[in-house]
Structure 1
Amino acid sequence: MKPQSVARAPVSVLLAQLPSVDKLLLSDPATAWVTQYGRDELLRCIRLVLDAIRKKISSNDLDAVPSDQSLHALIDARLVARARPNLRRVINLTGTVLHTNLGRAVMPDEVIAAMASAAAEPCALEYDLGEGKRGDRDELVEELLCELTGAEAATVVNNNAAAVFLLLHALSNRKETIVSRGELIEIGGAFRIPDIMKRAGARLVEVGTTNRTHARDFAEAIGPKTALVMKVHTSNYVVQGFTAEVPENELAKIAHEREVPFVVDLGSGTLVDLTQFGLPKEPTPAEAIADGADLVTFSCDKLLGGPQAGILVGRKDLIQRIKKNPLKRVLRVGKVTLAALESVLRMYRNPATLPERVKVIQLLTRTASSMQAQADGLIPALEEALAGCGLSIAAQAVKSQIGSGSLPVERLPSVALAISAVDRSYEKRVVRLERLLRGSDIAVIGRLSDKTLLLDLRCLTEDKVTVLRDTMLAAAQRLATTK
């Protein structure tokens, strides 16, 4: 015998049963809500909740009006959700250390303290304390940058893309810039060297082929309208096989013999030789300057491990021309960025201490054994809860990547928590768990691979181990109670 269906009240009756906004404003929880969130925000959330319920009633998705208790819970949840910051903290377990979408470099505590101090109090941003008059904000870091790169002068803008754009606009507007065809890169967000050159007013002259470019290609291309010879470090891809490129010192010689500046865009630059820490080789600004580059541009928030900014170093006369360009003011950085940059640059005066002080280098140099120890500590605490959801957990050897276009073919040995279904009937729960972790108050971001959720532990710092455990236990409990 089929169960008898419950009679549903007409839509008009259900809508009439909804409490008024005024009634909800006078309800017991309202006083605390007003104190915490303000009356206008409470009013807005009550209306949003009531509107959502009206839509459900009108579309036959509700058979009865929610109780007062349920309505209060919905309003409270809406208030909490709207108060939550959009820029939320995450635990990066993707296996990509410099993850562009997750903010790239994590900065050291002393750098963060310098940023907080600059933000909290007045500071001598553009004030010469010795002379008692207006100063230049670039001077806060210029001496350090020149010391660390061997350049004559330096300036800072808001990212490396801006540095390249400003350089081209200041020095090659309505003139030619020569670049090897194999270096016409595209980076994230569809930023392409040819497009940025066009927007900057520079005329691109391509030389060579995709895989092979020779010295004669540059020499033959330089003419009366040539403003720059430019080399772009292909940091986000590698061309292998039958290839040829012109060394920087040879390019510099060709350009200088024809009285043309030679510039190098390093992209994700680093200030030290990373091989001393067991990491792959990456070119440095100091090497480019030593090879004859007149200008070098690079990022601060990638391998350098600092804030988002772009640096230009090189000849003093060229830096002065760039600083006089009106776009320099448009692209300049503020006091918080400069405070962070100065703090992290000072660390590079003592390279031996970088693995202990610069968090990016800490994460890149972590040993597989340290990650295995974290996995061994987490698995016993999680396996019972996950088993109740039809899931298993185990440690798995994986490969991490540096990320953000840095050393694209290099991989670092790592260890991940691998979570998979005990049988095919539970496979959808792996995806649900990934969504629950991603939606947690402190989001946990891993990666799905071949029906397995991989949580790469390379970026898991010790202070986040307990947070990860508790977040996973809470997600497992929610998963176990849902269909």
Structure 2
Amino acid sequence: MPNLYRHIPSVDAVLAALDTVDDIAAQPRPLVRGLVNDFLDSCRADIRSGRVTEAEQLSLPALTPALTAFVRAASRPHFRRVLNATGVVIHTNLGRSILAPQAMDAVADACANYSNLEFDLATGERGSRYSHVEDVLCRLTGAEAALVVNNNAAAVLIVLETLGKGGEVIVSRGQLVEIGGSFRIPDVMAKSGAHLVEVGATNRTHPRDYEDAITEDTAALLRVHCSNFRIVGFTKEVSSAQLAELARAHGLPSIEDLGSGNLHPFASGELDEPTVQDTVASGIDVVTFSGDKVLGGPQAGIIVGKKDYIDRIKRNPLNRAMRIDKMTLAALEATLRLYIDPDAAPKSVPTLRMITAGQDDLHRRATELAAAIDSALPHLAQTELAAGQSRVGGGSFPERDLPTTLVRILPTASISADALRRALLDTTPPLVGRIEDDALCLDPRTLGDDEFSMVAGALTEALTRLTASGNAQ
């Protein structure tokens, strides 16, 4: 055993060998050196355990394949691209909406160069970063003024803190929602300093419930989108127009949290959700919504409404703590500009394009995806097409399925669907699908045509590894 230790290559010899591997040579030298030391420590452990018994096993040529794989895997970024084959368009865990090319170009330009972020080119004086998106937001929504903060939770918080702090805010009991990450309306309201007043029953709330609850301490009336659930059956809610009229009659501001704001009027009966512009037109004073859900832009909390109220919110000191950066601003403006042409938006905004994809097109693309997979791994797996359902996701359009065509992966070896799913999480790039009826299913709705070859490559990598290791379960 002591003699075997002398055959372990030196760190410098290993580093010199790795210098010929382009992707590893591009990594920071201290990072690679540390990983090489870790790998050589594992070699010493293998000698002590008896897993290595011959000097030839420790030669540099013999170690290079495992060494390269180890360093390559350990040095890749923790935050990286994945292939979304789940069929969930706005996948909260996978980064929600992806940006349009125009938005990505705008972000790159904002990052690579100086900009007029807070500089008024007309006067040569200090300007406001919000001016870059306020006009287009007002044009698209019909609102008098607009403000953008870093997400919709922040938007709700700053609106309530500005208009409701120290007073009572009335909300329907059926709208006291909790969404992902334990975000609860009552908790946000408590943090804002406003006092929650619940009215109505869980399933039915009437205008008179609000009317009866209004006192001299009432600061605002609030309406909240139910996001990721629906109450069905014997139900009733007060509409936006009714709430706005009631608030005006009592000289109070009306607020509506739309959650996933929608600027696109989907075809009647297709996806029944209110648009931001419809909500503004109903008379609601302040409307909040997300930028990175159905709108298809970057993470942002958008606030639109009456100028008097928006100006008060802008002056709130919390606004500075919640403001958006130049990258978000660039991406948001570019995305919003795509909506100026309502006919072009479904083709230009990736989120809308995926949501509105037709069944014939999805079947054609599923056929092409299956062909790419069959061509890449004919001896490792077979594919078959099956009818399935996609989801919008992100708390939007809950319980509304989108018909699609799935590609089912059937490994030829005794490899379970779950083992394949786990193995695909360690490929480059990782591939995330879903399991249905003991088969791995891939939905083309959330994949780009240019990603089909990458999907085939990830499956080849995962199945080859599983077959070689015998780790089939």
**1: CA distance between counterparts of 2:158 and 2:419?**
46
1:62 is displaced (CA, Å) by: 5.5
Q: Does 1:258 align with 2:250?
A: yes
Per the alignment, residue 259 of structure 2 pairs with 267
Question: Percent same amino acid at aligned positions?
Answer: 41
Structure 2 counterpart of 1:48, from 20, 38, 43: 38
Count how many residue pairs are aligned between Structure 1 and Structure 2: 465
The alpha-carbon deviation at position 436 of structure 1 amounts to 2.7
The yes-or-no answer on 1:288 pairing with 2:279 is: yes
Shift of 1:255: 1.4
Partners of 1:392 and 1:304 lie apart in 2 by: 37
Matched, 1:441 2:428: yes
Shift of 1:171: 1.8
User: What is the Cα deviation at residue 245 of structure 1?
Assistant: 0.8
Correspondence for 2:419? 432
Among 76, 79, 82, the alignment partner of 1:84 is 76
| 1:15 to partner: Cα distance | 8.1
Give the distance between the partners of 2:18 and 2:385, measured in 1 at CA. Answer: 48
Between 101-110 and 62-71, report the one with greater CA deviation. 62-71
Amino acid at match of 2:289: F
- The counterpart of 2:94, out of the listed 96, 102, 105, is 102
User: Aligned Cα RMSD in Å?
Assistant: 2.4
Counterpart check, 1:219 vs 2:207: no
Structure 1 residue 451, shift from structure 2 partner: 1.1
What amino acid does structure 2 have at the position aligned with 1:340?
A
1:406 offset after TM fit, Å? 0.5
Instruction: Give the Cα–Cα distance (whole angstroms) in 1 for the partners of residues 48 and 194 of structure 2.
Output: 59
The one-character-per-residue Cα deviations of 1:13-72 (angstroms, maximum 9, x if unpaired) are 38854747xx22244416557953344223311222233344555566655675132444
User: Counterpart of 2:469?
Assistant: 482
Q: 1:416 aligns with which of 381, 406, 409?
A: 406
Structure 2: unaligned runs, 5 residues or longer: none
Q: Deviations over 1:353-376 (max 9, x none)?
A: 112211111111112222222232
Aligned: 1:249 with 2:241: yes
Report the alpha carbon displacement of residue 174 of structure 1 after superposing the two structures with TM: 2.2
Contact 1:14–1:57, Cα closer than 8 Å, also in 2: no
Q: Which residue of 1 aligns with 2:229?
A: 237
What is the match of residue 370 of structure 2? 379
Paired letter, 2:457: D
Question: 2:311 matched to which residue of 1?
Answer: 320
1:301, 1:434 → 2: CA distance? 27
Question: Which moves more between the two structures, 376-385 or 328-337?
Answer: 376-385
Gaps of at least 5 residues in structure 1 are 1-8
Q: Aligned to 1:396, which of 386, 401, 421?
A: 386
Distance 2:456 2:33 in 1: 37
Tell me which residue corresponds to 1:29: 17
Contact 2:36 2:71 in 1 (8 A): no
- Is residue 460 from structure 1 mapped to residue 447 from structure 2 by the alignment? yes
1:121 aligns with 2:109: no
Residue equivalent to 1:4: none
**Post-superposition CA distance 1:190-226 (Å, at most 9, x none):** 1111111112222111111110111111111111221
In the TM superposition, residue 292 of structure 1 has moved relative to its aligned partner by 1.4
3-state SS, counterpart of residue 339 of structure 1: helix
What TM-score, normalized to structure 2?
A: 0.92
Deviations 1:316-358 (A, max 9, x none): 1211111111111111001111111111111111101112211
Q: In the aligned structure 2, how far is the partner of 1:385 from the partner of 1:120?
A: 39
For the 8 Å contact 2:179–2:227, the answer to whether it is kept is no
Farther-moved stretch of structure 1 (86-95 vs 429-438)? 429-438
In 1: Cα distance, 2:337 partner to 2:224 partner = 27
Deviates more, 1:241-250 or 1:369-378: 369-378
CA offset digits 1:92-131 (Å, max 9, x no partner):
1101111011111121111111111111111101111111
In 1: Cα distance, 2:303 partner to 2:140 partner: 13
Residues 381 and 291 of structure 1: is their aligned pair in 2 closer, same or farther, counting only changes over 3 Å? closer
Matched residue of 1:410: which SS? strand
2:369–2:444 Cα contact (<8 Å) kept = no
Write the letter of the residue equivalent to 2:313.
I
1:236–1:407 contact (8 Å) kept in structure 2 = yes
Distance 1:310 1:478 in 2: 44
- SS for the counterpart of 1:411 is strand
1:269–1:284 CA contact under 8 A, matched in 2: yes
Instruction: Flag the 1:173–1:64 CA change in 2: closer, same or farther, 3 A.
Output: farther
Q: Which residue of 2 aligns with 1:6?
A: none
